[in-house]
Amino acid sequence: VDQTCCGQPAFNAGFRDEARRMAARTVAVLDATDGPIVIPSGSCADFLVHHAPELLEGTEHADASTSVAGRCRELSQFLVDDIESDQRATTEGRVVYHPSCHGLRNLGISDQPAALLGEVERADLGDEADVCCGFGGLFSVEMPQVSAAMLERKLDAIGAAGGEVVCGGDVSCLMHLEGGMRRRNPDIRFAHFAELLAEALE
């Protein structure tokens, strides 16, 4: 109940002092826990693993931040690499998986979501599979025309592949994609892979 935003949005906007205060609070809350810290977001996990320790270096929270960073695991990493879960998602329709840039490029998350989606029918995006959707936090605000062009390209690829469900590991990417797709095909579903895993348990 004490946990708030980790500070990543402020950090991306260049408000380092504000981000530092938010990171310090989050680190203090998480440091008071035991065991793995499982995060269902590549961007949040990347911030706590790579950027929070840098921000908090030289402060009273430096050691705690390093300790927390070492315990953080993005959800698919935890399920596939750490506990080797055999739980697999199931859903109707062809599934497109969109990797978030932070998860793919900064945390090395690539094969883990594919393993979790092993039971679903996949729609192949080919060369567009790991292309950014154009959201990128403040990027979409500061460069809206470029962001919109990237979004349209991604939506074209999803449509061409016959995707009926778009799945990802970052809600921010999914919200961006869904906002654009509503104007084209409101019947396409968007879901975090954790939602599809939960449905398979029901």
Q: Is the pLDDT of residue 117 over 70?
A: yes
pLDDT for res 137? 80
Encode 101-134: b = buried (16+ Cβ within 10 Å), e = exposed.
bbbbebbebeebbeebbeebeebebeebeeebbb
Residue 1 has pLDDT above 80, yes or no: no
Residues 64-108 pLDDT 10s: 999 999 999 999 999 999 999 999 998 999 999 999 999 999 999
- Give 2-10's long-range contacts (Cβ < 8 A, gap of 24+): 2/29, 3/29, 3/30, 6/44, 6/47, 6/48, 6/52, 7/47, 7/52, 7/55, 8/43, 8/44, 8/47, 8/51, 8/137, 9/137, 9/138
pLDDT value for 3:
86
Determine which helix (DSSP H) or strand (DSSP E) holds 154, and give its type and residue range. Answer: helix 144-160
Q: Give me the pLDDT at residue 136, please.
A: 85
Residues 68, 74, 75, CA angle at the centre, nearest 5°? 125
Model pTM score = 0.91
CA atoms within 13 A on the CB side of 131: 18
pLDDT digits (tens, 9 = 90+) for 119-178: 899 998 989 999 999 998 888 889 999 999 999 999 999 999 999 999 999 999 999 999
Would you state the pLDDT for residue 191?
Answer: 96
pLDDT tens digits for range 6-30: 999 999 899 999 999 999 999 999 9
pLDDT for residue 141: 87
